[in-house]
Amino acid sequence: MAVSVAPVARFYRTSVGKKAIMAVTGAIGVLFLIGHIWGNLHVFEGSEKFNSYAKFLRVVGAPVFASSQLLWLVRIVLLVSVVLHITCAVQLYQQSRAARSVQYRVHKNPGATWASRTMRIGGVIILLFIIIHLANLTWGWLHPSFVEGDVYHNVVALFSLWYVTLFYVISMLAVGFHLDHGVWSMFQTLGFRTSRNNIVLRGVALIFAVVFVIASCAVPVAVLVGIIS
C-alpha cells in the first residue's frame, strides 16, 4: 500500500493540523501521567514494593523485549510527543501573535476560562518542571543524595526538603490547569465534542485535573509530613 506523505505534510502545515497533533501528543502525555501517577502511589506500599515496581518497569515485556527495551520505547514515544507538542505550541503561538500585531486598549474575555488563557505559560512551567524533575529523579544531577536504583530513597530524600515539595505542588497545580482545559480541548480538537456531551467532557476534564493534582501531590506531601519516611 503506497502511502503518500504529501497529505500529511499539508496537514501539518496548517494550524488545524498542528493542533490535532497537539491533541494526540497531549493525549499520549495524559496516558503517561495516568500510569506514572498510579505507579508513584506504590510509594505508599513501602520501599520494597516500590523499588520492585521500578525494576518491573525495566524488565517488563520480557522475553520479547530485552531489559529496558520497552521502557526505552515508551521513552522515545514520550520524547517525540513532547518535542512535537512543544514545537507545535511554539509555532502556533508565533502564528497567533503575528495574527494580531496591534493589541486592543481594552480587551475582555467573555466565554474563555482562566485555564484556557494560561495554556501557554502553563506549558512553559511544565517544561521547566520536567527538566528539573528529570534532573532530580532520573539523572540525579540536582538530587541531594541520589542512589541509582533506589527510587524509594530518592523520592523520600528529595521531598523531605520543604522547598522541593513546594515547587512540586505549584508545578502540579500548573499541570492541573493545563489538563483542565487540555483534556476538554483535546476532544474538541479531535472533533468529538458536541453541545450535548459538552457538560460531560467539561466535568471529566475538571475531575481528572483535580484527581491528578491530589494524587500527584500526595507523594511529596506525604513525605514532607512524615507519612512516608
Partner 1 sequence: MQGQTKPAVAEPGLMRMTLHVWRQKNRQSEGRMVTYTADQISPDMSFLEMLDVVNEELVAKGEEPIAFESDCREGICGSCGMMINGIAHGPKKETTACQLHMRSFRDGDEITIEPWRARAFPIIKDLVVDRSSFDRIIQAGGYITAPTGGAPDANAIPVPKPDADFAFEAAACIGCGACVAQCPNASAMLFTAAKVAHLAVLPQGQPERYARVARMVDQMEVELFGNCTNHGECSAVCPKGIPLDMIGLLNRDYRKARVTGDRRGDDTP
The three grid cell numbers given for residue 119, joined into one nine-digit string:
495554556
Sites of contact with ligand HEM (CB under 6 A) = 19, 22-23, 26-27, 29-30, 33, 36, 40, 54, 57, 75, 82, 85-86, 89, 92, 119-120, 123-124, 126-127, 130, 133-134, 137-138, 151, 155, 168, 172, 175, 178, 182-183, 185-186, 189, 216, 219-220
- Cα 190–Cα 193–Cα 198 angle in degrees, nearest 5: 150
Contacted entry of partner 1, ligand HEM, none for residue 216, CB cut-off 5 to 8 Å set by kind: ligand HEM
**Footprint (CB under 8 A) of partner 1, residues 114-173:** 116-117, 119
**Binding-site string for partner 1 from residue 82 to residue 101, where x marks contact by CB under 8 A and - marks none:** ----------x--xxxxxxx
Q: DSSP letter at 195?
A: T
| Residue number, 2 or 98, with CB nearest to ligand HEM | 98
The DSSP element (H or E) to which 155 belongs, if any, is helix 151-159
The three grid cell numbers given for residue 182, joined into one nine-digit string:
487540555
Per the CB < 8 A criterion, the answer to whether 168 and 130 are in contact is: no
The CA distance from 117 to 185, in Å, is: 12
| Residue number, 105 or 171, with CB nearest to ligand HEM | 171
Which residue from 155, 209, 158, 159 is spatially nearest to 182, judged by alpha carbons?
A: 209
In the complex, minimum distance from the CB of residue 216 to partner 1, in angstroms, rounded to a whole number? 24
Q: DSSP letter at 66?
A: -
List contacts with partner 1 (CB under 8 A): 6-8, 10-11, 13-20, 92, 95-113, 116-117, 119, 181, 184-185, 188-195
